[in-house]
Amino acid sequence: MTEGDGTAAAASDTPPGPDGRTGEVINTVPGEWAENDHFKDFYDADGRFDFERFGSEYTEAQGRLSDLSENQPELPASADDYAFDFGDDPAYPVDEVDVKLQRDLAKDLGLTQAQYEGIVKYDLARMARATEQIETEAKQTRDTLIREWGGQQKFDANLQAAAKTAVAIFGAEFAERTDLGNDPQLIRGLYLISQKLSEDTFKSGSGAGGEPPLGDDGERRLVYDSS
């Protein structure tokens, strides 16, 4: 190697050609490599570039990349190829629209099958925690109102009155999608309203028991017990 310029000379037994060259091979590197963090460690104290160490480490790095490429898990070809076994009796109803969205997202993110399964398991665990919290809150509400109203029997009767009021005021659809069991303020409020309304208000709006009267604005108004 020549000194100080990062140049390596390799002697050759090849006789000089017509132009006087001996066939000697000269290896050089760009001068700016000496200041590059990726290459400057290959220079020795005299400023000479160590081609042998550089070649050895480059070969090792290429080998590691090759191993990584060979061990790279194969990704599903399409979003529909992602699969998850929810079991014969899943804890929650399987929403096909939601499942499709999850599969599309997994494909867009380039997830493996195992990573997709991890996302679904996390989502199911999240729903389980939410359900457990709702059940805990409902039990706390029941316990509070049972003590407040003086026992289980009174609680059941008052809760039924509150539910009937919810149907009469908001309609059956509201009552079906709203769980009164975990909101003590809503239960108390509907129960208090039930004590103010006449029984006519609780009859079905289908016409069997008559429609609640309309106000000046054309909207149904509540019927209060006149007694």
Q: What is the pLDDT of residues 149-202, one digit of tens each?
A: 999 999 999 988 888 888 888 888 776 766 676 788 888 898 898 888 755 555
Q: Is the pLDDT of residue 207 over 60?
A: no
Q: 24: which DSSP letter? A: -
pLDDT band at 225 (very low <50, low <70, confident <90, very high): very low
CA distances from residue 73 to 79, 83, 113, 115, 217 in whole angstroms, order as listed: 16, 16, 9, 11, 67
The rounded mean pLDDT for the chain is: 76
The ranges assigned to domains in the chain are 8-71, 79-132, 150-227
Question: For residue range 1-19, what is the model confidence (pLDDT) as tens digits?
Answer: 444 455 544 444 555 555 5
Closest C-alpha among 164, 166, 226, 168 to residue 198: 226
Point out the least confidently predicted range of 38-47, 101-110, 115-124.
38-47
pTM, two decimal places: 0.48
Spatial distance between the Cα atoms of 141 and 86, rounded to a whole number of angstroms: 33
